[in-house]
Amino acid sequence: MSQKVINDLVIKAAQGKPTPTVPVWFMRQAGRSLPEYRAVRKRGSILDTIKDPRLSAEITLQPVQRYGVDAAIVYSDIIVPVFAIGFGIEVVEGKGPVVPQPFRNDGDLARLRNLEPEIDTSYVLETIKILVEELQVPLIGFAGAPFTVASYLIEGGPSRSYIKTKSLMRSNPALWHKLMERLSRLAIASLESQIAAGASMYQLFDSWAGILSPSEYRVMVAPYSNAIFSALAEKNVPSVHFGVGTAGLLDQMAHSGASAVGVDDRVSLEEAHRLTQGKVALQGNLDPVNILIGHDIAIAESKKVLASSAKSVGYIFNLGHGVLPDSDPRILKSVADLVHDQGAAIRAAASQSQLGEQ
């Protein structure tokens, strides 16, 4: 099944191709910041909402309709595959993923069987099938990267210091590598199924990988994330590799096989371009806090982000991390409009300067 995409700006930009203006979408564009989301969201766990394809499709479409963004992202969560195979994980409102019996030893590997997406996560695929019929913009599928998913399984929930994760990684590397291998297999199976159902791009969320040093990341994490991009390379679907606090990792992420790298707000896009040696397209990187501060600051800071994108080979405007729940949707709409209005001049200048460098 392939999508009849009419606006393919995000795809082109992710592939490093010229675009007539800058495309934009926002991580966590669906969710609690939207009154229309709060109106339809079922009580109880987000996982129950995700299991309802009609509702999930509606929630996915809400920000596309409201903001006119250039991509939709499937309403699901990075923990859905481990949840679906029965590892024992929940999402607690206001807190995030919680694992009552965290991953500790070799015996726990048995709790991570292979994913059979058509059976285990059929509801996600059903959501995607509904969406590709309705959307005129690309649908982004996604998965959690092995490290970030592992951090939840090992810590038992969100963490500030990642003590248990680092401890397992350093005291039992053999078990760590087995765990990472299992989680990369899960991500590959999930992403393959999302692409087969109609997703025309995907993002790998390694949200917390930035807590590692570049040398530890290289040995303990990169091989597994890279295996995901190489397993999916034959699908010819563009991909984004995202994490927070990754300034020290961007050079490695640019060599992961992803077509684009997501940049958070702690490094400028110019610096990201330098660190990735212009090898990949960039996505990012407005600090989501700017949306909370107010309209004028959000617009002024968005202009700075746009200006700093001028050298990128391909560029997708986004936040440096997800939309914060208290964000005013009207400000996000103004930012999306600004990007579309002013992006044309920025991209024209970008093609000029790339011609000049040739």
> What are the residue numbers of the active site?
28, 32, 41, 77, 152
User: Given candidates 14, 73, 201, 249, which one binds ligand CP3 under the rule CB under 6 A?
Assistant: 73
Choosing from 68, 88, 96, 223, the residue that interacts with ligand CP3 (CB under 6 A) is 96
Residues 332, 291 contacting (CB under 8 angstroms): yes
Min dist. Cβ of residue 318 to ligand CP3 (A): 10
Angle between helices 329-357 and 53-67 (to 10 degrees): 70
Give me the DSSP letters along 285-326: EE-THHHHH-HHHHHHHHHHHHHHTTT-SSEEEEESSPPPTT
Number of residues that bind ligand CP3 (CB under 6 A): 22
User: In whole angstroms, how close is the CB of 338 to ligand CP3 at the nearest point?
Assistant: 21
Which of 121, 165, 207, 246 is in the footprint of ligand CP3 by CB under 6 A?
207
State yes or no: residue 29 binds ligand CP3 (CB under 6 A). yes
Q: Which is nearer to ligand CP3, 77 or 287 (CB)?
A: 77
The 10 Å CB-count burial string (b at 16+, else e) for 178-195 is ebbebbbbbbbbbbbbbb
The answer to the question of residue 27 lying near ligand CP3 (CB under 6 A) is yes
Q: x/- contact string, 45-64, with ligand CP3 (CB under 6 A)?
A: -x------------------
Query: E strands along the chain, which residues?
Result: 72-73, 90-92, 96-98, 139-144, 201-205, 239-242, 260-263, 281-286, 315-319
> Does residue 203 contact residue 227 with C-beta atoms inside 8 Å?
no
Question: How is residue 71 written in tokens?
Answer: 């991509």
Cβ(204)–Cβ(145) under 8 Å?
Answer: yes
- Give the contact letters, 283-322, x = binds to ligand CP3 (CB under 6 A), - = no: ---------------------------------------x
In the block, tokens 């790998």 appear at 204
Residues 132-151 that bind ligand CP3 (CB under 6 A): 142
Q: Where does this chain touch ligand CP3 (CB under 6 A) — which range of 21-29, 164-172, 258-266, 336-344?
A: 21-29
Tokens of 36: 């229309």
* 93 near ligand CP3, judged by CB under 6 A: yes
Answer for which of 5, 11, 24, 30 binds ligand CP3 (CB under 6 A) is: 30
Cα separation of 72 and 135, whole Å? 8
How far is residue 298's CA from residue 15's CA, in Å, rounded to a whole number?
28
| Phi, then psi, of 72 in degrees rounded to 5 | -110, 150
Among 67, 75, 224, 317, binds ligand CP3 (CB under 6 A): 75
Among 205, 217, 315, 317, binds ligand CP3 (CB under 6 A): 205
From the CB of 77, what's the least distance to ligand CP3, in Å? 4
Q: Which is it for the CA torsion 63, 68, 72, 77, positive or negative?
A: negative
> Which structure tokens are listed for 261?
């790298």
Q: Minimum distance between the CB of residue 27 and ligand CP3, rounded to whole angstroms?
A: 5
Residue closer to ligand CP3, measured from CB, 28 or 274: 28
- Tell whether residue 31 is a contact of ligand CP3 (CB under 6 A): yes
240 in contact with ligand CP3 (CB under 6 A):
no
Q: What kind and span of H or E run contains 35?
A: helix 35-40
Nearer to ligand CP3, 91 or 346 (CB): 91
Please classify residue 282 by burial: count the beta carbons closer than 10 Å to its beta carbon, then call 0-12 exposed, 13-18 middle and 19+ buried. buried
305 exposure class (CB count in 10 Å sphere: 0-12, 13-18, 19+) = buried
Nearer to ligand CP3, 5 or 124 (CB): 124
If binding is defined by CB under 6 A, does position 28 make contact with ligand CP3?
yes
Footprint of ligand CP3 (CB under 6 A): 27-32, 41, 46, 73, 75, 77-78, 91, 93-97, 142, 205, 207, 322
